[in-house]
Amino acid sequence: MTRPLKLAIIGGGPSGFYLASRLLSLFPESYADSLRIHIFDRLWAPHGLVRYGVAPDHPEVKNCTHKFDSAVTDSRLKFFGNVDITSIGDNTSLSLSSLKKNYTHLVFATGCTEPNMHLQLPRDKGIISALDIVHWYTRHPSNPAPPPLHSASHVSIIGMGNVSLDVARMLLCPPSLLEKYDVPSHVLDALRKSQVKHVSVIGRRGPLEAAFTTKELREMMNLPDVALRPLEESVSNVQARTRQQSRTLELLKKGSRAAFGTTLRTWSLDFYRNPLGVTLPNSESPSYSLSLEHTTVDPITRRVPVTSTLPTSLIVTAMGFHAESSSTAPYAQWYDLNQKHIKTLPGGRVSTTNLDSDEPKIYASGWAATGAKGVLASTMMDAYSVAEAILEDWTNLTPSSNPHSEPVSSSPWDAPPPEIMKSLSSPDSEITTYKDWLAIDAEEVRRASTEGKERERMDWKEAKRFLYDKGLRVAEEDRS
């Protein structure tokens, strides 16, 4: 008899939930009660990048959460938020070794949470990452400082991916068009007071190499009362190699819906520009001065020895993301320093541990394993393949010579680790469950409905107070 499969998924984003839902659907019906899945996330709310990375005006991308809500109705799946898992564990986190004692299988679905920064652009109050802005307008628990839009007339974004255009669109879009979406009230207030007049999107290569999609570019072109500065003919007059490149070039040649010179707000795509450095504001100049090298992808000349300077109020780096490289990350021993994500084998397998051993089988899924690339559909397919690998490995386990209902010794077979159980038993527990989330989710939607908005987000302090007020928690000061 093969022992039960007890799986811990570290990371409650789309990869973790897709994997869990797939495994629940694939698990043999005759062994249905031999499966338990626990998802842990260090944030209080589930859904990771879907909640804290998707642009507010792209609500359709968030529809996958309905699938996740459905998966959690299966009693074999549980979610635990506000649980930070590290390689060593301390007073504020749970150790990886504790998980190993309590589960037969582990999956890292921790994503890529760190921004890639440009080596020539040091962090400063006016040099920030796109992730800071995204986390600001999605009210991420990291609570980054708001960008200084009240004093910035010109914004330079380094990088030409979808995140770059998301940020540019949020900064240029008339706030009146964003009011119906999932945009926190304090963000809307800041956007209404914004002094941004121009956004430069800067990339070191040309239009054929730009990473943004045609859909994102079209949205920028159609922004009302915002115009694109026309490209030089030599930039857009190149030969496309794919259908998407052809569509991109057509859009670039056509230009924005609003004619340049007729609007108060503008933007530009500054191709073939590579930052060499920056001069910080001083008593003589209140602006940053961005030094740019002019480049080319011509196979013969490669680079042309021309530089220019660009005065700008705010510099935003949008050059992609990588997995956390800290020595305390739970996957630290398997982290690939060159690739900046977890080393994996086919099927997302991280460890070559003998399948017959008592060591938990370890896997990685999504961006934690592949790096920050692809869209939700590719994340889903990767998660499905890892789920299938887990099932295959479990099916191929040698039957235990001493079968028992508890595959691990330090907690009941279907329960989380003792540390989690102890915390959950306390009225003051910081750990959230999916039941908590569903109540908070409904309240966020209710609060916004009176204003015709999609949602009004709460931070954890507000959410916890709401749970207390609803009687789902009892605050220490309220207990007799």
Q: Is 465 annotated as a binding residue?
A: no
Instruction: For residue 390, give every residue at least 6 positions away whose Cβ sits within 8 Å of its Cβ, in sequence order, or none.
Output: 5, 7, 23, 105, 107, 361, 363
Q: Which tokens belong to 23?
A: 């495994």
Q: Is 216 annotated as a binding residue?
A: yes
Q: Is 169 annotated as a binding residue?
A: no
Q: What is the 3-state secondary structure (H, E, C) of 257-304?
A: CCCCCCCCEEEEEECCEEEEEEECCCCCCCCEEEEEEEECCCCCCCEE
Q: What is the rounded distance in angstroms from the CA atom of residue 157 to the CA atom of residue 310?
A: 12
Q: How many CB atoms lie within 10 A of CB 243?
A: 9
Cα-based angle 23, 104, 419 (whole degrees, multiple of 5): 105
Q: Which tokens belong to 465?
A: 């107070």
Q: Is 204 annotated as a binding residue?
A: yes
Q: Determine the longest span between alpha carbons in the chain, in angstroms.
A: 80
- Give CA separation, 361 vs 123, 168, 323, in Å: 40, 43, 21
Q: Which tokens belong to 2?
A: 């093969």
Q: Which tokens belong to 246?
A: 């052809």
Q: Is 194 annotated as a binding residue?
A: no
Q: Is 39 annotated as a binding residue?
A: no
Q: Is 158 annotated as a binding residue?
A: no
Q: How many CB atoms lie within 10 A of CB 476?
A: 8
Q: Is 251 annotated as a binding residue?
A: no
Please give the annotated binding residues, written as ranges: 15, 49, 85, 204-205, 216, 367, 374
Binding site residue list for FAD = 15, 49, 85, 367
- Binding site for NADP(+), by residue number, is 204-205, 216, 374
